[in-house]
Amino acid sequence: MSDRRVVITGVGPVAPLGVGVAEFWSALLEGRNAVRRISAFDPGRFDSHVGSQVEGVAAKDFVPKGYRKAEKIMARDIVLAVVAAHHAVSDAGLRTKCLIERGDATGEPNLDSTRFGANIGSGLICADLAELAEALHNSSENGRFSIARWGTEGMNNLTPLWLLKFLPNMLACHVTIVHDCQGPSNTITCGEASSHLAIGEAFRTIARGVADVCICGGAESKINPMALLRQSLGRRLSRRNDDPATACRPFGLERDGTAISEGGGLVILEDLEHARRRGARIYAELVGFGAANDAAPPTQPSTPPADGRGAALALRKALRDAKLDPQALDLVSAFAPGIPAHDASEAAALKAVLGARLAEVPILAIKGGIGNNGAGSGALDFIAMVLSLYNATLPPTVNGRFVDPSLGLRATVGRSVDARVETAASLAYALGGGQNAALLIRRYRD
Amino acid sequence: MNRRVVITGMGWVTPLGQEIDAVWKRLLAGESGVRPTELFDARTFPTRFSAQVTDFDLRSFLGERYPQHASASRNSGFALAAAEMAWRDAGLTGAADDDAAERVGVYLGGGEGPIDFDNFAACAVAGWDPAERRLDALRWAEQAYERLNAVCELEQDPNSAAGHLAYRFNARGPNLNTLTACAASTQAIGEATQIIRRGDADIMISGGAHSMIHPLGVTGFNRLTALSTRNDTCLTASRPFDSTRDGFVLGEGAGILILEEYESARRRGARMLAEIVGFGSTADAFRVTDIHESGRGAIAAMRAALESAAVAPAEIHYVSAHGTGTEENDKLETLAIRTVFGENARNVPVSSVKSMLGHLIAAAGAVELITCVLAIRDGMLPPTINYSNPDPNCDLDYIPNRSRAARVDTALSNSFGFGGQNDTLVVRRV
């Protein structure tokens, strides 16, 4: 099978550190840290109080005028995706219907909408608790919820389109409407592995020729009481509430869990010939994708296998797919959420695949400054890796000073360093469910 | 290197039963699985009926493996049971050997798990501050830590079922879950086929599982006025393409298929039920709530599937319609079929088994694809029941009320999701 070559021509990060490529990259280079006490609600009675939030974004700023009122039916996750989409298509120089209508781009569209696909990872979108709680409370009698009253009156407090705010494919729905992507469409829902799987599947979609351009990645918000509770019940969160800035410690000594977050990223993948024809800037070529499952006992709270076998297999498959040797890697983006068992499992996987090379390869681990948002985390990791390769610079690791020396990992500490990166791999895995995925990129050459 | 993908095993859990041939017989007899809702107290809801799975006992499917999957949600349980049946149906036993495990993957259209509603509602009531009209996160958290638990909460993640299957069958290959609403399991099967074709796996366990028959699921669809409210005659409430249709009937269940690379199936002497030859996926990119009035997304998905199968519309002997029984879907699906099939549109039999099973949401497409495979196997087409009033906008041959004998070599199955997601599969006799 002669696969078409696929390149990355645009990135749209939406992170607590910064929105859009310029802000995000400079925040990474400066080693900024956005983890603090959660302010969106009072986290005082939860066991973890720390998180990182995206401030000051609204979908209405990035959609055609006639579509602004659609924001009323967008959960936070959807808003983040719509914002990311704007930045990604703008960064790629794509003249989509929306950008032309808004006057952000002039001329005719420079892509065929029916060959423009989408694959956007998402999570279990939490219903807006306040909206639902008021309606449920109004259906109570003497402090107890009455389902009879809910059926007759309570449910009518919800807006008719209520359900549509929370369907996971509504990220892709709104993004495809706004940017007129009529090609192959998909929504991967595999927890933290979602973005990588979505990017990998979009890669295949272009390679086999059914789309020329895909917008892909993921977004999620865990900044709400329900998501915080779920992560807490999963024993995934740091309790370093008195020192939020050092709460999330990728591969760190005394790491005790991650911090909840929100954000995501969408990237533009493009058939190489299509990108060349329109003279697009090429960040890197996507050359390998691998996916695997741990096939570990499905307990809750879940623990990953100590040998990181699924992550190792995903990485090996991505290397095989790219016909590359582990020796060829000169940067590895780790998922490293700062959770004791998961980070240890991942370190074991990296050691198993890279062997002696592990001591020489720098590790990129960005969650120290942002924590974990779920389905959109992988996209931010991937974008950070793409920018590191493209700019030949490695940003410092936030809380890198805590990295456990016994793991034998090389993290960049203190300040950014110059580094020529030819080939880089990014790993991600779901914290429950056992899904793992790896993506491999290479500096673009004709 | 052209790798072909065949179906070697199938299993389902449906409102009409949990065994392939027994359910098929009831579908051909035109039975309805719709009953008053018993899974929760729906007596005051606008819609008080649904198509529920009854007498489901995961233990009877898993045997001594049951304790390892005791955390399974209703969705994951349906998926495990259907997969057990499909795996056995494919002539496979036990689980994948370690040396073959990475060539066996899972691609599901698994729904988000049913919510722990009673506890959720109690926390919400306690957490609401009516004086300030805001959620008091402190009060809510106190209740939530008391009432909610890790198993119920985390098993709601849509990728849970795929994780259970990976462990059960030692499937260490590609593992994905898609949740493109009502198109999810058709999408999963189409994408899983591509994974085998490309050479990334030899066997994919694929399909979907979903139950939204819980208070918030029904609330959501009732608020959208998407559900039938024919409470007094619920047995005949699901009436796709009939002019008196008033919405769909919510169902639940799972459909799982074993997809296998042709040579792999041949080598082990597996029975090949059908070949998956075409897949198309598109987005309407139009509106959140409405389908484009030309049916453009559905047309493009059907055309993409036919094109990738190198099959002409005239070669399709049966269409399994998405056919939900909503005013808009049935009208625009009919228009789309008419556009794609042209002059031949009135000659191709089209039916919707949702008239009998209800709408299994994420699991619907997989269950419907299984009916296409059975139609090919047995030369019988399942009917659209409850059809008595023709609608001028729906003018195709819907196989009204009675099943029909017909040779089927190639069938097409449609699934469309909220938000403009369209997926189509084409299957053919091997």
Q: Which residues pair with B14 in a beta bridge?
A: B17
**What ipTM describes this predicted complex?**
0.98
Chain center to CA of A183: 22
Neighbours of A332 (CB within 10 A): 25
| Segment holding A112, helix H or strand E | none
How many Cβ contacts (< 8 angstroms) between chains A and B?
A: 306
Answer yes or no: do A174 and B283 touch at CB < 8 A.
no
Reply yes or no on whether the pLDDT at B166 is more than 70.
yes
Q: How far apart are CA A190 and CA B152, in angstroms?
A: 17
d(CA B386, CA A307): 56
- Name the band, by pLDDT with cuts 50, 70 and 90, for residue A3: confident
B73: CB partners within 8 A, 6+ apart: B113, B114, B152, B155, B156, B160, B161
Distance of CA B370 to the CA centre of its chain: 10
Q: Which of B123, B182, B234, B372 is catalytic?
A: B182
How many Å apart are CA A19 and CA A34, to the nearest integer?
Answer: 13
How many residues are recorded in chain B? 430
Interface of B with A in 84-113 (CB under 8 A): 101-102, 105-106, 110, 112
pLDDT digit string, tens, across residues A174-187:
999 999 999 999 99
Q: How confident is the model over B246-260, as a mean pLDDT? A: 98
Given the structure tokens 């910064």, which residue do they identify?
A: A18
Q: Does B421 touch chain A if contact means CB atoms closer than 8 Å?
A: yes
Beta bridge partners of B229: none
CA of residue B277 relative to chain centroid, distance = 19
Q: How far apart are the first and last CA of chain A?
A: 21
Please, what's the b/e burial string for A179-205 (b: 16 or more CB within 10 A of its CB; e: otherwise)? Answer: bbbbbbbbbbbbbbbbbbbbbbbbbbb
Distance (Å, rounded) from C-alpha A13 to C-alpha A131? 29
**What band does B2 get if pLDDT is binned at 50, 70 and 90?**
confident
CA distances from B270 to A94, A190, B223, B334 (A): 48, 31, 47, 37
Name the CATH topology of B5-114+156-428.
Peroxisomal Thiolase; Chain A, domain 1 (3.40.47)
Distance CA B414, CA B341 (A): 14
Q: What's the DSSP call for residue A397?
A: P
Mean pLDDT of the B260-278 span? 98
**Per-residue pLDDT tens over the stretch A202-253:** 999 999 999 999 999 999 999 999 999 999 999 999 999 999 999 999 999 9
Q: Which residues of A touch B134 (CB under 8 A)?
A: 130
Answer whether B304 touches A (CB < 8 Å): yes
Chain A closest CA to B175's CA: distance in Å?
A: 6
* Of residues B105, B138, B181, nearest to A42 (C-beta): B138
Check if B182 is active-site.
yes
Q: Which residues of A touch B167 (CB under 8 A)?
A: 295-298, 434
Q: Model confidence over A292-343: pLDDT tens digits? A: 999 999 999 999 999 999 999 999 999 999 999 999 999 999 999 999 999 9
Which residue in A199, A194, A238 sits closest to A220, CA to CA? A194
Question: pLDDT digit string (tens) for A158-208?
Answer: 999 999 999 999 999 999 999 999 999 999 999 999 999 999 999 999 999
Residue of A nearest to B47 (CA): A151
Question: Quick check: A111 pLDDT over 70?
Answer: yes
**Amino acid (1-letter code) at residue B378:** D
Strands B318-320 and B175-177, by their bridges, are unpaired
Q: Which residues contact B117 (CB under 8 A, 6 or more apart)?
A: B40, B214, B215, B216
A319 interaction partners in chain B (CB closer than 8 Å): none
Q: Do B125 and A145 touch (CB under 8 A)?
A: yes
Whether B235 and B32 have beta carbons less than 8 Å apart is answered as yes
pLDDT greater than 70 at residue B386: yes
Dihedral (CA of A137, A140, A145, A148) sign: negative
- B289 pLDDT band (50/70/90 cuts)? confident
Does residue A1 register a pLDDT over 50?
no
Q: Which of residues 212-271 of B touch A (CB under 8 A)?
A: 215-216, 219-225
Q: In chain A, positions 261-300, which contact chain B (CB-CB < 8 Å)?
A: 291-300
Helix (H, G, I), strand (E, B) or coil at A435: strand
Assigned CATH for A6-127+162-277:
3.40.47.10
Query: Structural domain boundaries of chain A?
Result: 6-127+162-277, 128-161, 288-442
Show the tokens assigned to A318: 């991505």
Q: Decide: residue A421, CB within 10 A, 0-12 exposed, 13-18 middle, 19+ buried.
A: buried
DSSP 3-state of A332: strand
Contacts of B417 in chain A (CB under 8 A): 169
Angle between helices B117-127 and A129-137 (to 10 degrees): 90
Q: What is the mean pLDDT of chain B?
A: 97
Closest CA to A343 of A313, A379, A368, A315: A368
pLDDT at B103 over 70: yes
Which helix (H) or strand (E) is A364 found in, with range?
strand A362-364
Q: What DSSP line would sit under A26-87, residue for residue?
A: HHHHHT----EE--SS--TTSS--EEE---S--GGGGS-GGGGGGGGG--HHHHHHHHHHHH
Higher pLDDT, B1 or A61: A61
Rounded CA separation A293/B247 (Å): 39
Listed by number, the residues of chain A in 316-375 with a beta carbon closer than 8 Å to a beta carbon of chain B are 317
What whole-number distance in Å separates Cα of residue A400 and Cα of residue B105? 36
Tell me the domain boundaries of chain B.
5-114+156-428, 117-152
- Cβ distance A435 to B284 less than 8 Å, yes or no, reads no
Q: Check if B359 is active-site.
A: yes
The answer on pLDDT for B1 being more than 80 is no
Inter-chain contact A151–B44, Cβ cutoff 8 Å? Answer: yes
> Is the Cβ of B47 closer than 8 Å to some Cβ of chain A?
no
Give me the DSSP letters along A175-243.
Answer: HHHHHT--S-EE-B--GGGHHHHHHHHHHHHHHTTS-SEEEEEEEEE--SHHHHHHHHHTT-B---TT-
For residues B52 and B37, the answer to whether their CB atoms sit within 8 Å is: yes
Q: Give the Cα-Cα-Cα angle B256, B421, B394 (nearest 5 degrees).
A: 95
Q: Are A194 and A97 in contact (CB under 8 A)?
A: no
8 Å CB contact between B281 and B29: no
Our CA-based measurement puts residue B293 at a distance from the nearest CA of chain A, in whole angstroms, of 15
Phi (first) and psi of residue A407, to 5 degrees: -80, -15
- Residue B72 has what pLDDT? 97
- Do residues A199 and A84 lie in contact, with contact meaning Cβ atoms separated by under 8 Å? no
Helix axes B137-147, A225-233, angle to 10 degrees: 30
Say whether A155 and B105 touch across the interface (CB within 8 A).
no
* Mean pLDDT score across all residues of chain A: 97
Which whole number is the average pLDDT over A390-417? Answer: 97
Distance CA(A69)–CA(A63), nearest Å, equals 10
Preceding amide of A301 cis, omega within 30: yes
How many CA atoms lie less than 13 Å away from A5 in the CB half-sphere?
16
Average pLDDT of the residues in A270-299: 98
Give the chain B residue nearest A191 (alpha carbons). B159
Q: Which of the four pLDDT bands, split at 50, 70 and 90, describes residue A89?
A: very high
Nearest CA in chain A to B3: A1
Distance from CA of B109 to the nearest CA of A (A): 9
Mean pLDDT of B369-389: 98
Does the beta-carbon distance from B173 to A292 stay under 8 Å?
yes
CB contact (8 A) between residue B69 and residue A197: no
Bridge partners (DSSP) of residue B411 are B318, B427
Which class is A288-442 in CATH?
alpha beta
Q: Give how far Cα B159 sits from Cα of A99, A226, A378, A431, B62, Å.
A: 34, 18, 16, 11, 20
Mean pLDDT of A262-280: 98
Asked if A148's CB is within 8 angstroms of B43's CB, the reply is yes
Q: Is the pLDDT of residue A149 over 70?
A: yes
Contact B284, B297 (CB under 8 A): yes
SS (HEC) of chain B: CCCCEEEEEEEEEECCECCHHHHHHHHHCCCCCCEECCCCCCCCCCCCEEECCCCCCHHHHHHHHHHHHCCCCHHHHHHHHHHHHHHHHCCCCCCCCCCCHHHEEEEEEECCCCCCHHHHHHHHHHHEECCCCEECHHHHHHHHHHHCCHHHHHCCCCCHHHHHHHHHHCCCCCEEEECCHHHHHHHHHHHHHHHHHHCCCCEEEEEEEEECCCHHHHHHHHHCCCECCCHHHHHHCCCCCCCCCCCECEEEEEEEEEEEEHHHHHHCCCCCCEEEEEEEEEECCCCCCCCCCCCHHHHHHHHHHHHHHCCCHHHCCEEECCCCCCHHHHHHHHHHHHHHHHHHHHHCEEECCHHHHCECHHHHHHHHHHHHHHHHHHCEECCECCCCCCECCECCECCECCCEECCCCEEEEEEEECCCEEEEEEEECC
Predicted TM-score (pTM) of this structure: 0.98
Pairing of strands B128-129, A144-145: unpaired
